[in-house]
Amino acid sequence: MGTRFILDYPKAKDLLPKRPVDGNKGTFGRVLIIAGSAKMIGCCDLAVKGALRCGAGLVTLAFPDCIYVPLASRLTENTFLPLPSKNGKISIEALPVILNEIKKCDTVVFGCGVGISDDIRELVARLVLKCNKPLILDADGLNALADNTEVLKFAKCKILLTPHPGEMSRLIKKDISFIENNREKVITAFSKQYNVNVLLKGHNTLICKDDGTLLCENKSGNTGLAKGGSGDLLSGIIAGFTPALNGDLYQAACLGAYIHGLTAELASSRFSEYSTLPSDCADNIGYIIKAIIESE
């Protein structure tokens, strides 16, 4: 097993990217989030807000053009990239547009709420093969990859997978109970086999570096995160930190998971774990980052 550590305030403060006084939006990075479908619109809000609250200079949301109207009324601080759609989901015809946009960005997120279709399966495989920027795969991006994990071995970029146990089950074709009983072994083996960073969600989230040498155990958070949308927010948070951490997806994932968990602890102190929403957590990101900066 690799070196294992647990993040705390001092370690988080050391990881938190410093912001030069003469910085501009280019300094702090451009994030491309490819997300959403006709049935899942809210995931876009959460991912975008996560990235912006964690320091990204510019966030572009790429989404199926059929949901442009509801999205435009919900989001105001990012740029929009409508994509060709089919049956409420992103079409494979969007690939050239996406690849062209990747040239302008520093970090890419794919999968939040995109749904599953043959086009989505082909899109995720092509992205893995053609993307040359740090790539975060989440949610349906992982489900679409489940029957084609070998493509990861041919990636040209650094990759972070952010599965919950069910998604990890589909990726390795093992029961969820097996994963929950062997969490460290599962993600270390997967990281080494495919040379990808892995963040396995759940109680005490684990993050493994792509070569299997480092393992971070995150102890922040509570059951307030056990709601749909929490993972979308986490993907955005990690993406927001990645450019300022020079593309280090492992460090961004460790810091992001820790802050994500703390936002839930703060929200539930006010609303209870029963009633905490992912949007409550998004609203708390700034308070948590400020507390880390000001900690002794």
Rounded Cα distance between 225 and 21, Å, is: 34
Distance CA 209, CA 229 (A): 25
Structure tokens at 13: 């403060």
Question: What is the chain's mean pLDDT, rounded?
Answer: 96
Q: What is the rounded CA–CA span in Å between residue 89 and residue 197?
A: 27
**Tokens of residue 159, six digits:** 């990759």
Q: In this structure, are residues 258 and 218 in contact, taking their beta carbons and an 8 Å threshold? A: yes
Question: Average pLDDT of 100-107?
Answer: 98
pLDDT in tens, 141-193: 999 999 999 999 999 999 999 999 999 999 999 999 999 999 999 999 999 99
pLDDT of residue 2: 61
Q: Are 233 and 259 in contact (CB under 8 A)?
A: no
Domain spans in the chain, listed from the N-terminal domain onward: 3-15+25-294
Q: Are 211 and 195 in contact (CB under 8 A)?
A: yes
HEC string of 124-151 equals HHHHHHHCCCCEEECCHHHHHHCCCHHH
- Identify the architecture of domain 3-15+25-294 in CATH: 3-Layer(aba) Sandwich (3.40)
Maximum pairwise Cα distance, the chain: 53
SS3 content of the chain, % helix, strand, coil (to 5): 50, 15, 35
- Quick one: tokens of 282? 């998004």
Q: How far apart are CA 53 and CA 213, in angstroms?
A: 30
pTM above 0.95, yes or no: yes
Average pLDDT over residues 233-240: 98
Share of the chain above pLDDT 90, in %: 97
Burial per residue of 163-180, b for 16 or more beta-carbon CB atoms within 10 angstroms, e otherwise: bbbebbbbbbeeeeeebe
Over residues 248-284, the pLDDT tens digits come to: 999 999 999 999 999 999 999 999 999 999 999 999 9
Written as six digits, the tokens of 73 are 């009324």
Residue corresponding to tokens 């489940």: 146
Residue 241 C-alpha from the chain's centroid:
11
pLDDT over 90 at 100, yes or no: yes
Q: What is the pLDDT of residue 4?
A: 83
* HSE of 83, CA atoms in CB hemisphere, 13 A: 33
Cβ neighbours of 240 (radius 10 Å): 31
Half-sphere exposure of 114 (CA within 13 A, CB side): 35
For residue 243, what pLDDT band results from cuts at 50, 70 and 90?
Answer: very high
